[in-house]
Amino acid sequence: MTEEQAKAKIEELSNLLNQYNYEYHVLDKPSVPDVEYDQKLHELIKLEQEFPQFRTEHSPTQRVGGEPLDAFKKVEHRSPMLSLGNAFNDQDLRDFDRRVRDGVGGKVQYVCELKIDGLAVSLLYENGRFVRGATRGDGTIGEDITNNLKTIRSIPLRLKEDATLEVRGEAFMPKASFMKLNEAREKEGVEVFANPRNAAAGSLRQLDPKIASRRNLDIFVYGAAAVEGRNVASHSESLHYLDELGFKTNPEWKRCETIEEVIEYVNGWVERRPDLNYEIDGIVVKVDSLDQQDELGTTVKSPRWAVAYKFPAEEVVTRLEDIELTVGRTGVVTPTALLEPVQVARTTVKRASLHNEDLIREKDIKIGDYVIVKKAGDIIPEVVNVIQEKRTGEEKNFHMPTHCPECESELVRIEDEVALRCINPKCPAQIREGLIHFVSRNAMNIDGLGEKVITQLFNENLIQDVADLYELKREELLKLERMGEKSVDNLLKAIEASKDNSLEKLLFGLGIRNVGAKAARTLAEHFETMENLQKARREDITSIHEFGDIMADSVVVYFEKPEVEQLLEHLRKVGVNMEYKGLKRSETENIDSPFSGKTIVLTGKLLQLSRNEAKAEIEKLGGKVAGSVSKNTDLVIAGEDAGSKLTKAEKLGVEVWNEDTFIGQLND
Average pLDDT over residues 225-230: 77
Give 371's pLDDT tier (boundaries 50, 70, 90).
very high
How far is the CA of 327 from the CAs of 119, 345, 353, in angstroms?
34, 28, 13
Look at domain 428-573 and name its CATH class: mainly alpha
Average of pLDDT values for 476-497?
91
Band the pLDDT of 68: cuts 50, 70, 90: very low
β-pair partners for 278:
none
Q: Residues 79, 150: contact at Cβ < 8 Å?
A: no
Give the helix/strand (H/E) hosting 626: strand 624-626
How many Cβ atoms are within 10 Å of 207's Cβ, its own excluded?
15
Question: Distance of CA 62 to CAs 16, 18, 150, 245, Å?
Answer: 15, 11, 7, 20
Task: Report which of residues 616 and 319 the model is more confident about.
Answer: 319
Nearest to 6 by CA among 41, 44, 36: 44
Euclidean distance between CA atoms 489 and 483, whole angstroms:
10
Which residue type occupies 397?
N
Cα separation, 536 vs 285, whole angstroms = 54
DSSP secondary-structure letter at 445? -
Q: Are 170 and 219 in contact (CB under 8 A)?
A: yes
* Structure confidence at residue 419 (pLDDT): 80
297 conformational bin, left if phi > 0, alpha if psi -120 to 50, beta if neither: left
Instruction: Determine which of 231-245, 423-437, 599-613 has the lowest per-residue pLDDT on average.
Output: 599-613
Is the pLDDT at 404 greater than 90, yes or no?
A: yes
pLDDT mean over 424-428? 87
pLDDT of residue 620: 79
With cut-offs at 50, 70 and 90, classify the pLDDT of residue 378. very low
pLDDT band at 431 (very low <50, low <70, confident <90, very high): very high
Asked if residue 411 lies in contact with residue 404, where contact means CB atoms within 8 angstroms, the answer is yes
- pLDDT tens digits, residue range 306-347? 999 988 766 789 999 999 999 988 888 999 999 998 877 656
Give pLDDT tens digits for 258-302. 999 999 999 999 878 878 889 898 999 999 999 999 999 988 678
The domains of the chain are located at: 3-64, 85-310, 315-401, 428-573, 588-667
Decide which of 1.10.287.610, 3.40.50.2300, 1.20.120.430, 3.40.630.10 is the CATH code for 3-64: 1.10.287.610
Least confident of 196-200, 555-559, 641-645: 641-645
What integer best gives the mean pLDDT of the chain? 87
Question: pLDDT at residue 619 above 60?
Answer: yes
**Which is the catalytic residue, given 9, 40, 74, 115?**
115
The question of whether 115 is a catalytic residue gets the answer: yes
What architecture is domain 85-310?
2-Layer Sandwich (3.30)
User: What pLDDT, on a 0 to 100 scale, did the predictor assign at position 381?
Assistant: 82
CATH topology for the 588-667 domain: Rossmann fold (3.40.50)
Architecture of domain 315-401: Beta Barrel (2.40)
**pLDDT value, residue 527:** 93
423 pLDDT more than 90 = no
Position with higher pLDDT, 62 vs 468: 468
Given a contact cutoff of 8 angstroms between Cβ atoms, the answer to whether 479 and 472 are in contact is no
**Cβ neighbourhood burial of 103 (10 Å; 0-12, 13-18, 19+):** middle
DSSP 312: P
Q: Could you read off the pLDDT of 151-189 as tens digits, one per residue? A: 999 999 999 999 999 999 999 999 888 888 888 877 766
- Residue 303 is given by DSSP the state B
